[in-house]
Amino acid sequence: MLIKTFLEQTKLFRNVVVAENASIGMLKLRNDEFDLVIVDFQLPDKEGTYLVEMAKKSLKFRKLKFLLISGYLDNRSMINVINSGIKHVLVKPFSRDDLISKVLQILKLD
């Protein structure tokens, strides 16, 4: 929820949607359109890379941009991140400015 607050405070982002886990995230992806998905590596039901891998199996989401956030990525986890096709990672802890800068960079709005 802190990420949602950070993004909404900038007034640059009209619609920030939150999903509590990968399953709900997939439902929201199927029912709406997004410019960027920010996903935590450690979700309650699955790793964040699982959500990305499932989404990228659909042509609808092949070009969708993902930002993975994590407090800790060991070598095995980093391999999963790379294999899932995630190109952007932000390591916790991060500041509001770090997050906004990374999102703007990914969306090429900076």
| pLDDT score of 78 more than 60 | yes
| 98 phi, psi to nearest 5 deg | -60, -45
Position 109 in a domain: no
Whether the predicted pLDDT of 9 surpasses 60: yes
Among residues 64, 110, 55, the alpha carbon closest in space to that of 87 is found at 64
CB atoms within 10 A of CB 41: 21
Measured distance CA(97)–CA(86) in Å, rounded: 21
- The helix/strand/coil state of 69 is strand
Over pLDDT 70: what percentage of the chain?
99
Does 110 have pLDDT greater than 70?
Answer: no
Domain residues for 88? 2-104
Domain count for the chain, please give it.
Answer: 1
Q: What is the CATH number of the domain that holds 57?
A: 3.40.50.2300
Judge whether 8 lies within some domain.
Answer: yes
Residues with Cβ within 8 Å of residue 1, at least 6 apart in sequence: 18
Given pLDDT bands bounded at 50, 70 and 90, which one contains residue 82? Answer: confident
Q: Examine residue 110 and state whether it is found in any structural domain, yes or no.
A: no
24 alpha carbon, distance to own chain's centre: 14
Per the domain annotation, does 29 fall within a domain? yes
| pTM as predicted | 0.89
